[in-house]
């Protein structure tokens, strides 16, 4: 296992920040919506436009969530004292790059845009991740598990808000949900500790502010 030098640990989050916010993301895995039909056109063009706008806004929220997830992982890895924990966090971050690529692609298909506030989401999430990491690796892994659990709940809510015939968007969200559930399970198996109820509540409140804002901006 590679041992990271101080310079590595300083440059890695800078590089990852620039890549997350400004680079074009390429998924390592196939696009879940490949070979699936687009949502059928509605008789009323205004209704069709609103349906696409709503789906794009939901995917903008998901894209912002993935930006925040990258920042959380980077913040936790930056302060982690254990090479194994750091490697696990970085591996999860790399896999979640697929989610960034998939969300971005679907947003483009729907004629939408990503959040204007992504730099803010990244900065805030990196800080939160670093604070969680400073509390120790068990707490840090527990934070990952709780974050992923809440993300799965959030994605399930999006599936309920999407039209049943929007199979392309639904396929992406379903694959993301499966990945997030696996990441959370892996974090607990690696030694994650259950977080106090007050911390879980604060995490939900923070996520609610981000999701409601990202829907519009």
Please state, in angstroms and rounded to a whole number, the distance separating the CA atoms of residues 7 and 216: 39
Rounded Cα distance between 127 and 193, Å, is 20
Quote the pLDDT of residue 188: 92
Question: Residue 4 has what pLDDT?
Answer: 60
pTM metric for this prediction:
0.90
pLDDT of residue 58: 96
Looking at residue 24, its pLDDT comes to: 86
Burial class (CB in 10 A: 0-12, 13-18, 19+), 79: middle
Averaged pLDDT in 10-residue chunks for the chain of 217 residues: 63 83 90 92 78 95 94 88 80 87 96 96 93 90 92 95 94 96 91 90 91 94
Distance, in Å, from the CA atom of 215 to the CA atom of 116, rounded to the nearest integer, reads: 11
- 44 by Cβ neighbours in 10 Å (0-12 / 13-18 / 19+) ranks as exposed
Residue owning tokens 């591996």: 91
| pLDDT the model gives residue 18 | 86
* pLDDT at site 9: 66
CATH fourth-level superfamily of 45-216: Ferritin, core subunit, four-helix bundle (1.20.1260.10)
pLDDT at site 68: 93
């Amino acid at each position: 296992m590679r041992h990271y030098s101080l310079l590595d640990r300083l440059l890695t989050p800078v590089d990852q920040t620039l890549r997350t916010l400004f680079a074009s993301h390429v998924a390592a895995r196939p696009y879940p919506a490949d070979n699936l039909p687009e949502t059928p056109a509605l008789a009323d063009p205004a209704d069709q436009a609103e349906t696409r706008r709503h789906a794009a806004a939901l995917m903008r929220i998901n894209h912002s969530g993935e930006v925040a997830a990258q920042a959380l992982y980077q913040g936790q890895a930056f302060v982690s004292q254990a090479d194994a924990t750091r490697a696990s966090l970085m591996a999860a971050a790399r896999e979640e790059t697929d989610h960034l690529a998939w969300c971005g692609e679907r947003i483009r298909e729907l004629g939408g845009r990503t959040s204007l506030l992504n730099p803010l989401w990244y900065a805030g999430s990196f800080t939160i991740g670093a604070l969680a990491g400073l509390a120790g690796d068990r707490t840090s892994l527990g934070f990952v598990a709780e974050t992923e659990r809440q993300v799965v709940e959030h994605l399930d809510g999006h599936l309920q808000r999407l039209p049943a015939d929007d199979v392309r968007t639904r396929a992406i969200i379903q694959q993301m949900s499966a990945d997030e559930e696996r990441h959370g399970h892996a974090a607990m198996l690696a030694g994650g500790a259950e977080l106090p109820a007050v911390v879980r509540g604060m995490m939900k409140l923070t996520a609610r502010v981000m999701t409601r804002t990202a829907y519009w901006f």
